[in-house]
Structure 1
């Protein structure tokens, strides 16, 4: 979960300027270690670590000492501004704080549920459920040319029969996103493509070109480039996938149980304009 933050100049410019000497290295860093005190308010190493974790990935390219000092200056500036803020928070800011607190605590709860250890028996059972008795399936490598009308598809087919290059025709005529790669769709198996498209592919032999095939996207001229047998994977090859699935199931069950026990009342959302959530003016005091 990304935590909202504002890049103050001290941190936004650390890529260009090192802001001083790094803190002394510690054998066992303690998150409670105070790295600065601003008018009696402590800033700890833990605060710095938490802010570092919320920064965009590109900050990881900076030298460690540069980033360390930039983050510390960022927190000092924020503390000064917070201490000298007068008046009430705007409604928008208060709601953002509410949402961040809710999201952070929810994230902690998610981590607790999904970090439970999975036994080998659970993983083995999941593997059996998903793969036991599964037959090896054929995968297909195909290319296609997508056009708007059957007439255009038939004309392309005639050009192919006269010796035209399939990839060249795809680049010049296809309206699909694969046009730039000569119509290449890569490898796919059952359930990936639209049924009529897949059935046409499965009926071809490698090197064959189909008659025009209609789908909701238009008319396709399809060439089957190759086939292969995709064997049932070994447990170790899919262990990570199975663990992710089991953890997701545990989380879904946890949320379902909480929902069932909770008293949740929803307003009649038909009375709301869905576009209203994009109107920041309603948060103005």
Structure 2
């Protein structure tokens, strides 16, 4: 026979929390269901809700509430049916407890030791000695032969707009938009092309030159200093770096005040990590 099961429904919980005074009486320890002598608390329901996949966010709270109670009740019934705790369960619980407790300390470090001023200082330090990086906006036309490139260059020299000539003759994918390559930095283009662009002044047009793709004529439309990422764009990365450094410092301090013994080389066969039969 199944063990006796009782639980408070969503309406009952809502009634408990219907006034400010009553809401103050509801805590994480409030019992919402019992399975035999085992109590299932509101805190357990809340954590089970947090663990649900994102797609469950679309369901109303009353459905989630009752569904989670049913889930935890069923889990408890099955857990009670286990006559003896296995070694695998015990070791898993130890690992889970260790992981959760260490994660709590990491979260505490993040909240207490990583301040806004530290993030700002890290951002400023990152770019304090950083050299300015030049970017180029250029256009080009691509043809098969040097003669075609020379003819196109002659049209431009005679006053034709570079973009118009590129649209007329370029076989490259940028031809339809006048040869516009957009913004790029050093190293983005093949060396033969990059060298030609760097040598130009803004508005200048190159002589025909060859790359592995064919014959080009190029013009430098504009230059700028590469925009630096904003603090907000780097906030997550900087915070993670500061957290990693803070955790490393805390670990070093903790290790210095603890007796830690680890195996020497040869003490254990590394292949033992696959010895699942030891857990049986």
TM-score by length of 1: 0.58
Unmatched 5+ residue regions in structure 1? 1-19, 143-155, 168-185, 214-222
- Over the residues paired in the alignment, what is the CA RMSD in angstroms? 4.6
**Equivalent in the alignment of 2:58:** 61
Distance 2:261 2:222 in 1: 54
Among 33, 40, 59, the alignment partner of 1:36 is 33
**Equivalent in the alignment of 2:96:** 100
Among 251, 270, 273, the alignment partner of 1:272 is 270
TM-score by length of 2: 0.59
Among 272, 279, 282, the alignment partner of 2:277 is 282
**Equivalent in the alignment of 1:12:** none
SS at 2:13's partner residue?
Answer: coil
Unmatched 5+ residue regions in structure 2? 1-8, 150-168, 175-181, 199-204
Contact 1:33–1:44 under 8 Å retained in 2: yes
**Equivalent in the alignment of 1:48:** 45
**Equivalent in the alignment of 2:130:** 134
SS at 1:205's partner residue?
Answer: helix
Contact 1:92–1:283 under 8 Å retained in 2: no
**Equivalent in the alignment of 1:205:** 197
Among 4, 9, 13, the alignment partner of 1:24 is 13
**Equivalent in the alignment of 1:114:** 110
Among 75, 80, 99, the alignment partner of 1:78 is 75
Aligned residue runs from structure 1 range 184-195, under 5 A: none
Larger Rg, first or second structure (1 or 2): 2
Distance 1:200 1:104 in 2: 56
Are residues 266 and 203 of structure 1, via their aligned partners in 2, closer, same or farther at CA, if it must alter by over 3 Å? farther
Distance 1:225 1:84 in 2: 76
Distance 2:278 2:196 in 1: 60
Contact 1:204–1:210 under 8 Å retained in 2: no
Query: 1:232: Cα distance to partner?
Result: 3.9
Distance 2:106 2:122 in 1: 22
Are residues 93 and 120 of structure 1, via their aligned partners in 2, closer, same or farther at CA, if it must alter by over 3 Å? closer
Query: 1:43: Cα distance to partner?
Result: 0.8
